[in-house]
Amino acid sequence: MRILIHGGFFSESSQSNETKLEKQQALIQILEKAKDYLTEHTALQTSIYAVSLLEDCPLFNAGIGSQIQSDGEIRMSAAIMDGATQKFSGVINIEDVKNPIHVAEKLMEEDDRVLGGSGACRYAKLSGFEAYSTQTEDRKKEYLSKKQSTGTGTVGCVVLDQEGKLAAATSTGGKGFEIPGRVSDSATIAGNFANQHCAVSCTGVGEDIVSNGLATKIVTRVTDGMTLEQAFKKSFSELKPYDGFAGAIAVSKNGDLYFLESHPKIVYASYNGAENTVFT
């Protein structure tokens, strides 16, 4: 069993050592809960569970604590992919829900599995998700003071379960101050992708990740025989012509874990089957 989670780049939030320590501690606590959960649940279920916990933590830019867009509204995106079934589902620019990842989970039951904007909001309401404001005082202060975000905040999880199945889940509160209607990478296969060989979740500047097709490239290259390290290095080298800002985490069917970032620093936490590790 393997789990790797990320909490986005530090640059999307405070640079203080205190905030970095808080994020590290939060990731370890979430990782511990996800490990326990994985013992009786699948990779897909565990990835969703871990991301929902990240969404519930205001330290991260997903769910509670999401960035505010230029018109003063919060719109979030999230996606999941089951490596075993090759099913992908997600929501784009959804509003007024606590956990967008749970709406993505519900959409796995549907034929139409990716919804955006008003359609995603309507679906959530009709499915019984309660209206919930994810705005925090810190995000409101940032917005009112016109503090610009770097747009690099996302959370994600990749999992290998005891049956050898893989899954990826990703959620974001957006870029911050973006034009309403902007689509991030998080609910696309550029930012969240898995098959029976590999699972990948990305964070960074969505436009750069989509331009590169990052998650899909890494998974495809592993499927074609590259190691995780080789697939990452080749795919990240293709970000260089436009100085692409991205990070990614992955787990392979063999239990290998890997992560890489084009610009420091992301906070990661992993469980390799024997011990926990936090990377910053």
Residue 238 C-beta-side C-alpha neighbours within 13 Å: 14
- 3 state SS of 157: strand
Please give the Cα distance from 141 to 162 (Å, whole number).
44
Under 8 Å between Cβ of 80 and 169: yes
Please give the Cα distance from 217 to 170 (Å, whole number).
17
Q: Is 154 a catalytic residue?
A: yes
> Which tokens in the block code for residue 275?
């011990």
DSSP state string for 255-270? --EEEEESSS-EEEEE
Question: By CB neighbour count within 10 A (0-12 exposed, 13-18 middle, 19+ buried), where does 145 fall?
Answer: exposed
Give the active site residue among 134, 152, 154, 170.
154
Give the other-Cβ count within 10 Å of 5's Cβ.
27
- Which residues have a catalytic role annotated? 154
